[in-house]
Amino acid sequence: MKNLSRLLLAMLLVLGFSNTYAQDENNPWAVSFGVNAVDVYPVGEDAPQGDYFDEFFNAEDHWNILPSLSSLTVSKYVSNSFTVGVTGSINKISKVGEALNQPSIRVDDMTYYAIDGTVKYSFSDLLKCKTFEPFIGVGGGYTWIDEIGAGTINGALGINYWFTENVGVTLQTNYKHAFEDYLTSHFQHYAGVSVKFGGKDTDEDGIYDKDDACPDVWGLEAFMGCPDSDGDGIEDSKDSCPNEAGLAEFNGCPDSDGDGVADGDDNCPTVAGLKALAGCPDADNDGVADGDDNCPNEAGPAANNGCPWPDADGDGVLDKDDQCPNEVGTVANNGCPEAVEPTAEVMATLNNYARTILFDSGKASFKEATYPVLQAIAAILKEYPESNFTLEGHTDSDGAKSSNQILSERRANAVRDYLISNGIGAERLTAAGFGEEYPIDTNKTRAGKKNNRRVEVKLRK
């Protein structure tokens, strides 16, 4: 019993120390229960192994099997594919194998008890297979046959086959070498069902905390246990709109109108529009969003709130640029009519009228017959509002030269004053007197002097 006490103490220390390594591992605990078969030989025989295990599979002659639940194992994962476990088993010995190729000896039933501790190494990770798990193990224990007991050192070889993540079957063979000569060395075979448990899943999402990136929040396996609240395929931590289903291109935010602008950035989220206008439409394509466009169906500049500039006189010059918005003009003249100059024929007509102006003798006052002539001159000048004119006064050579100069100036100004009073702009008219300096006829005849007493109208450039 001294050896048994030491062995049990060592096993308890190993199991207790392993808790510090296994707390975060998935399903660290396993329970296996099933049947065991004992292949035992008389003390002192070379058996049980024989010559290359010739009798190893001779179950009919050598194996002692108790037809009931006869073994129970509790084990715990440590780390790096290692587990430690304790197995308790019972059996009855009714046949003992003799020498090689000899039949077994039938004996009265002897009770068999054993408790064994084992450290196992799994090859599952090396094979990269989760269902088929071969393993080897070493350990020790204590075995009693009837009242005879002794410590043993054990070697194990077996496999686990997992039907699910938690349930499988276990097949295992132990070779148990006794420390004492009075207990024979022997094989013990196991077959049973194994159940793994103990994995921690705080949020109950089916993903163990060890592998769960969000262990306190229910999540999806595709996102390592993290949630996707709106079900749009983008986990909440990477979703800018975690409570609204959206598109990956918008970091999980929606685009309700499908215009390529996320709703959060779309000033018109329910109507398809243009990115350049923050998702709002522009029916007339003038660059002004319909909501800000006073003429949404007619293209116009933003400066005029989306409406076209008017052209009241239809001369092709917009009113905003037209210096004569109500008068047809030309682009070259900023929308105003081009100035029409009087022709040579018109000037000749003006001067024909001007030469018939009659003044009182030696004065600048008009004779009554002259007023219709002055009115005709004013009418012609009104037809050319953009033209400017010079009125020149002339005399004959009678009298003093200085007096003639003054008289010519007064008569030219008298004509100017009349025209201004009859609607001709003062800025358009200038007056000058030239006295007797520029005769157009001889001053020696009465007719010639008459021609020299005149007023001339000249076009001023």
Residue 224 has pLDDT above 80, yes or no: yes
**Using only C-alpha atoms, what is the Rg of the chain?**
63
* DSSP letter, residue 130: S
pLDDT digits (tens, 9 = 90+) for 7-50: 344 443 333 333 332 223 778 899 999 999 998 876 655 444 45
| Cβ proximity of 115 and 87 under 8 Å | yes
Report percent pLDDT > 70 for the chain: 89
pLDDT digits (tens, 9 = 90+) for 167-203: 999 999 999 999 988 888 889 999 999 999 887 888 8
pLDDT digits (tens, 9 = 90+) for 88-122: 999 998 887 765 455 566 777 889 999 999 999 99
The verdict on domain 344-460 having CATH code 3.30.1330.60 is: yes
Average pLDDT over residues 377-406: 93
Average pLDDT over residues 264-274: 92
Q: Which residues pair with 73 in a beta bridge?
A: 32, 87
Check residue 73 and give its pLDDT: 96
Q: Which residues contact 89 (CB under 8 A, 6 or more apart)?
A: 36, 70, 71, 72, 112, 113, 114, 115, 116, 188, 190
Q: CB-hemisphere CA count at 13 Å for 336? A: 9
Check residue 105 and give its pLDDT: 64
Q: Which residues pair with 179 in a beta bridge?
A: none
Average pLDDT score, the chain: 87
Could you tell me the residue ranges of all domains in the chain? 2-197, 308-337, 344-460
Q: How confident is the model at residue 209 (pLDDT cuts 50, 70, 90)?
A: confident
| Cβ proximity of 150 and 143 under 8 Å | yes
Sign (positive/negative) of CA torsion 10, 12, 13, 19?
Answer: positive
Q: Does 158 or 215 have the greater pLDDT score? A: 158
> d(Cα 228, Cα 439) in Å, to the nearest integer?
110
CATH code that applies to domain 2-197: 2.40.160.20
Give the 3-state secondary structure of residue 356.
Answer: coil
Check residue 285 and give its pLDDT: 93
pTM: 0.48
Check residue 308 and give its pLDDT: 92
Report percent pLDDT > 90 for the chain: 61
Check residue 43 and give its pLDDT: 60
Dihedrals φ, ψ of 137, to 5°? -155, 160
Residue environment code for 63-100, b if the CB has 16+ CB neighbours within 10 A, otherwise e = bbbbeeebbebebbbbeeeebbbbbebbbebebbbbee
Average pLDDT over residues 343-358: 93
Give the 3-state secondary structure of residue 338.
Answer: coil
Closest of 309, 324, 357, 323 to residue 456, by C-alpha: 357
> d(Cα 226, Cα 205) in Å, to the nearest integer?
9
